[in-house]
Structure 1
Amino acid sequence: MGCCFSDVRGGQEAVGGTQQRPIGGVGVGGGGGNNGGHNDAVDLFFRARGQHALFSQIELSLSASKLRDRDIMSKSDPMAVVYLRKGDGMLEELGRTEVILNSLDPAWIEKISLAYHFETVQHLVFHVYDVDTKYHKVPVKTLKLKDQEFLGEASCVLSEIVTKQSRSLTLSLHNKNLQVGVRNLGTLTVRAEESVASRTAVEIIFRCSQLGNKDMFSKSDPFLRISRVVESGGSLPICKTEVINNNLNPSWRPLCLSMQQFGSKENPLVIECFDFDTSGNHALIGKLQKSMADLEKLHKGRNGANFTLPSSHHGHEKVLKSQLFVDQFCEKQQHSFLDYISSGFELSFMVAVDFTASNGNPRNPDSLHYIDPSGRYNSYQQAIMEVGEVIQFYDSDRRFTAWGFGGRTYDGTVSHCFNLNGSPDGYEVEGVEGIMAAYAGALHNVSMAGPTLFGQVINRAAQIAGKSLSYNHSKYYVLLIITDGVLTDEQETVDALVRASDLPLSILIVGVGGADFTQMEVGVYRRLKLFWRSFLDNS
């Protein structure tokens, strides 16, 4: 099970952030939905923890059929241009194919590369042009598109392509901006392939010997930070190890680095060893620069590399006795999210909405549940749309589960897991629009009550995920809990999370409004940590 909390204390567990699955709430403000740009809430979540959102590098292959013939003495000479429609509606050009001469059924060789972000709805636009003969020797990148004959356009969402088992989608070409004119402009087929490089990963075990002691009354508490050298000459941190306390000859847990992180095997990496300090002022023990290829050679030769420190002599480095060893270097191909999707796996969306009294009267404009007549989303609507719009492309029937909790329901009793649509039997609704409609309807029929309890909702979601698993259904469930208040049933929630931990279920907790969610995040995290520590000690 995936969850969303983190070590907000910034302690030793937080140092190795890339090694841990994030757990925790992401605050979402009011306003309209996010259409086409990055998901700001997801980006903020990763940036706040010193991490980068995951992505896959995709290559698009294009072909067309039955294009219009715009040349008199020969056939059209087509070229395709691919754009990404940004959040403000503007088009950002991603790339162009080559020109294929005299063809109404071109299959272009030039591929268009882009990053596929699961958490973002990426709108693609395709334009096809007939390139004038006098421009055939001009590089395609410098061609002025206004001087070429427009043959048609098509558009789709990237998720619509990658969720097909064939990873291909055929689109009808039409006039620009759907202008009236010739209807049959041919078709464009787009195929997405994941870059092989994005699948490559290296698992490494680092060990150090004779590290310098930076502590007065004990030994150093070392950890490694690895950074990639970028073209500007600076460095970009890509991962950190865990901290090993009171040890000058540490051996760390395996690190798994993807090629997306280190770039290539020849790309220089800066490896720094620090003595951990709770203040955040970590003391540098030593550093060195090696490429991934160099690290592989160290492993094969069973050799160590000496750390250095800046010396008092300008431009010189002091070579230390401290050494870095590579005890394991293993290349492997990783299965990606897209591999599971193309194999038939689906995501199923569940949402649970907080109806406790602290949200305020929905008729009051100050309420978090207030429905603005202008159509501007409140915080609950925004959270539903931002998550739901992404996940809906990965569920074939688009039937989603919608619950409420902490409200006085249709029969007058307070419920901590009730069907949002008011039905006594069915909790599913049709698509994200169905969730929004059920939510709006519930605001008229459900009274705000309390307290804030998550346990029953999580147990219900786990029951559905467990049943699906027992039937061997290829489904993974994502439960979105949207709340405005501090959790009341902390221990019951932790117990529910533990019971659900081996199920195909991820839980996202989104906090809205002005409440301080730090106590809930830290409290649940600590209880989970204590449980797993006890479990491991007794296993």
Structure 2
Amino acid sequence: MCVTYVQPFGQNKWMEFHRTESVKNNQDPNFVSKVLISYKFEEKQSLLFEIYDTDSKDTDLSTHDFLGTIQTNLGQLVANKRNKLQLKDRAGNLKSSYLVITAEELGLDRDQVILEMSGFKLDKKDFFGKSDPFLEIYKLTDTGNYTLVHKTDVIKDTLTPHWKKFNISVRALCNGDYERDLKFICFDWNSSGDHSLIGEFHTTLKGLLDPNAAFKCINGKKKEKKKDYKDSGEIRVDYINIQATYTFLDYVQGGTEIFCTVAIDFTGSNGNPSKPTSLHFIDPTNMNSYEQAIWSVVSIIEDYDSDKQFAVLGFGAKIPPHGQVSHEFFVNMNPQNPHCFGVRGVLDAYRTCINQVQLYGPTNFAPVINHVAKIAQSHQDGSKYFILLILTDGVITDMPETIQAIILSSSLPISIIIVGIGNAEFDAMEELDADKGGLKYNGIYAARDIVQFVAFNSYHNLDPNIAHLQLAKDVLAEVPKQFMDYMKINGIVPKRRASQTTTPEIENLKIQ
């Protein structure tokens, strides 16, 4: 039996979440019972698995033999899709057994039907004109009733209407059942709201997909009264297409890699690093605000980076060996190998750098944004997506250049996260975070919103155990949408990994 534990958001304790069935007399069990968990990119969703040899139906786990445990998180599981994890004993020693976990998004009929229809030789219903036709589409429910799922636009004074193309999800149209009965009713619109029936017909989504789909519109009352009645016109399918709708996880599990670059403000306004009042003061017992922000965000993103290598840039400092001011330098001072391994490597490089540079200024963002944009320009096929995390304490001094750099980057696979450190006025940052209106410069608009800004001080009054989690949640919450906007605008569909056998959905995942 496998027991799954979760940690509720902001709580440092394990709560039992799920138990599989017991598989008898088997050292290689394949559990039928699945674990359904809501997935959130912006959170570190820790998971603990314990394996037991059950000897009875007793629900008390202490009565069963403990075989091993493993701790991981949901981000790692979904990024790798199939995970072979070596179990440990209670003391943390590795055992010779493994737990294989497959994470899959559950498909929920996300496909869209794009449909365009027209009428031909419909009945004339208006005394002084022709007809004002529109369609109502109904699906048959499991209770035997019909429910309205879509209404077309009204086309005035015509017997050959051509209705506007419309989208509707397969789920909404027919519950994903291509054979489910659909009823189409054609009415003549009246301003009184008492619309006149022209006719109706029945079909299915499968029927609509027929290359020559055309349906006779039948008016039951007219058919009863007139022996020579044939029909009240014809409804034709001019265009139909089933369009796949993808999610963030489709791309991640299809192989899209997410890369994060950290850019740190080393300007003089941060204060002398040797003094406790400085924002860059390194205290062996407590993380400063820069360190907390790095830990909060990078520790989540690293789950989606296969090699966990992060480029860390600095700006606004005088750097060795000649003391020149730089707005784009590698914090580990190694241009040949500028990457740091994991969040701890990023923190180590930052702490070392503090003692190697002289804080100076001004605060220029454009160079680090252009640095990432230059790399992203070579990877616009959906195989890679880039996140730039900028940590700063002050007002931007190159605002026009920064806006231009963001507008250029908005057409590239980039998201920019800005965390304001300290008590400075950050009003200008809100302008860059164009939630209330598109960012523009000299009449040129950004292709999409790619900037998210938060002030670190906003989290100081929160419980310390929750503050860093809430920060990460807020700054990363928009990344999946920004990611998806880029893919949709550029018509990029996710690739399929060789091992992928199911169609994924961001709401739930099954683990086996």
**Other-structure match for 1:371:** 282
Q: Which runs of 5+ in 1 are unaligned?
A: 1-78, 136-142, 205-253, 267-290, 305-319, 322-328
Gap change, CA 1:480 and 1:301, over 3 Å in 2: farther
1:480 maps to which residue? Answer: 389
Q: Which residue of 1 aligns with 2:2?
A: 80
Residue of 412, 428, 453 corresponding to 1:519: 428
Post-superposition CA distance 1:36-95 (Å, at most 9, x none): xxxxxxxxxxxxxxxxxxxxxxxxxxxxxxxxxxxxxxxxxxx21111245543112221
1:119 aligns with 2:39: no
CA distance in 2, matches of 1:265, 1:464: 42
Deviations 1:409-432 (A, max 9, x none): 222222211221123554323332
Q: What one-letter code is carried by the residue in structure 1 that aligns with 2:342?
A: G
Cα displacement string for residues 401-458 of structure 1 (whole angstroms, at most 9, x for unaligned residues): 1111111222222221122112355432333222212211221121111121111111
Aligned to 1:246: none
Deviation at 1:480, TM superposition (A): 0.6
Q: Distance in 1 between matches of 2:335 and 2:96?
A: 50
Q: Which amino acid aligns with 2:358?
A: S
Question: Which amino acid is 1:125 matched to?
Answer: L
Cα contact 2:403–2:432 (8 A) shared by 1: no
Alignment of 1:84-483 (within 5 A): 84-86=6-8, 88-133=11-56, 135=58, 143-164=59-80, 167-178=81-92, 184=95, 186-197=97-108, 199=110, 301=185, 333-374=244-285, 376-410=286-320, 411-469=322-380, 474-483=383-392
CA deviation map 1:143-180 (0-9, x unaligned): 2223333232222222332222xx2112233323437x
The alpha carbon displacement at 1:334 in A equals: 2.3
2:403 to 494, 497, 516: 494
Check conservation: 1:94, 1:114, Cα contact below 8 A: no
TM-score of the pair, normalised by structure 2: 0.59
Matched with 2:472 is: none
Rounded Cα–Cα distance in structure 2 between residues aligned with 1:365 and 1:257: 59
Give the superposition deviation at 1:301. 5.0
Q: Is the 8 A contact 1:494 1:524 kept in 2?
A: no
AA in 1 matched with 2:313 = W
Tell me, yes or no, if the aligned pair for 1:151 and 1:185 is still in contact at 8 Å: no
Q: 1:492 to 1:399 in 2, by over 3 A?
A: same
CA contact (8 A) 1:202 1:330 kept: yes
SS class of match (1:120): coil
Contact 1:346 1:396 in 2 (8 A): yes
Q: CA deviation at 1:114?
A: 0.2
TM-superposed deviation, 1:510: 1.0
Deviations 1:256-313 (A, max 9, x none): 9999xxxx969xxxxxxxxxxxxxxxxxxxxxxxx999xxx99965789xxxxxxxxx
Question: Following the alignment from structure 1 to structure 2, what is the Cα–Cα distance between the partners of residues 173 and 80?
Answer: 12
Helix, strand or coil: the match of 1:445? coil
CA shift digits 1:210-254 (9 cap, x unpaired)? xxxxxxxxxxxxxxxxxxxxxxxxxxxxxxxxxxxxxxxxxxxx9
**Uncovered stretches (5+) of structure 2, i.e. residues with no partner:** 116-164, 195-239, 448-512
Shift of 1:355: 1.0
Q: Residues 148 and 454 (structure 1 numbering): CA distance in 2 closer, same or farther, change over 3 Å?
A: same
Cα pair distance change 1:130/1:378, threshold 3 Å: same
Q: Where does residue 228 of structure 1 map in the other structure?
A: none
Displacement of 1:108? 1.2
SS of the equivalent of 1:390 reads helix
Rounded to whole Å, the distance in 2 between the matches of 1:302 and 1:367 is 73
Partner of 2:475: none
Residue identity over aligned pairs, in percent, reads 38
What's the secondary structure of 1:353's corresponding residue? strand
Question: Distance between the aligned counterparts of 1:450 and 1:124, measured in 2?
Answer: 44
**Which residue identity is paired with 1:392?**
E
The TM-score, its normalising length taken from structure 1, stands at 0.56
Shift of 1:347: 1.0
CA distance in structure 1 between the partners assigned to 2:168 and 2:19 by the alignment:
32
Q: Would the alpha carbon gap of residues 190 and 426 (structure 1) be closer, same or farther in structure 2, given more than 3 Å must change?
A: closer
Is the contact made by 1:419 and 1:427 (CA closer than 8 Å) also made in structure 2? yes
- The whole-number CA distance in structure 2 between the counterparts of 1:364 and 1:160 is 39
Secondary structure, aligned partner of 1:386: helix
Q: Distance in 1 between matches of 2:246 and 2:279?
A: 41
Aligned partner letter, 1:373: P
Equivalent AA in structure 2 for residue 484 of structure 1: D
Gap change, CA 1:188 and 1:493, over 3 Å in 2: same
- Aligned counterparts of 2:104 and 2:349: Cα–Cα separation in 1: 38
3-state SS of 1:513 partner: coil
Q: Residues 453 and 488 of structure 1 are in contact (CA less than 8 Å); yes or no, is this contact kept in structure 2? A: yes
Residue 257 of structure 2 aligns with an amino acid whose one-letter code is: E
C-alpha distance in structure 2 between counterparts of 1:485 and 1:300, whole Å = 62
Q: Tell me the amino acid that sits aligned with residue 151 of structure 1.
A: L
Indicate the larger mover: 387-396 or 484-493: 387-396
SS at match of 2:284: coil
Task: Note the C-alpha offset of 1:475.
Answer: 1.8
Shift of 1:384: 1.3
Secondary structure, in 3 states, of the residue corresponding to 1:344? coil
**Alpha-carbon distance, 1:120 to partner:** 2.0
Q: Secondary structure at the match of 1:453?
A: coil
- Match of 2:261, as an amino acid? M
Seen in structure 2, the aligned counterparts of structure 1 residues 134 and 466 have a Cα distance that, compared at 3 Å, is closer
